[in-house]
Amino acid sequence: RLVYHLEKEEQMPDGMCIDAEGKLWVACIDGGRVIRIDPETGKRIQTVRLPTPRITSCCFGGKDYSEMYVTSAYDGLDEATLAKEPHAGEIFKITGLGVKGIPQNFYAA
């Protein structure tokens, strides 16, 4: 089922994760943001803007899963674009979101 229809400025979804409240966090590649979506209502409930547009993935970490780590891409960008986007390719740590992630599931081999 369709959970959320991305707005034009959000561009295209890439990596995503779930928080402890069951909400979906989506990295918006070429949108420069991570958005939090309530999959029950289909509404965007939070937006975190980042200093580079090519946001590729997000996950929770830290000792209590209260930090979000967000990756970005720089491959395929020419020198002129990289000069305008000096944070492309960096990993960002976001704190103070007011929500925690959940531990990953481990599976036996």
Domains of the chain: which residue ranges? 8-95
The top-level CATH class assigned to 8-95 is: mainly beta
Average pLDDT rounded to a whole number, residues 13-20:
96
Which pLDDT score, from 0 to 100, does residue 52 have?
94
pLDDT band for position 75 (50/70/90)? confident
Average pLDDT rounded to a whole number, residues 50-74:
96
Catalytic residue list contains 14 = yes
Percent of the chain with pLDDT over 90: 73
Strands 12-18 and 24-29: antiparallel
CA distances from 36 to 6, 23, 45, 73 (A): 12, 7, 6, 20
Instruction: Count the neighbouring beta carbons within 10 Å of the beta carbon of residue 23.
Output: 16
Which pLDDT score, from 0 to 100, does residue 2 have?
86
Q: Is 30 annotated as a binding residue?
A: no
Q: Looking at 14, 38, 64, 75, which residue is catalytic?
A: 14
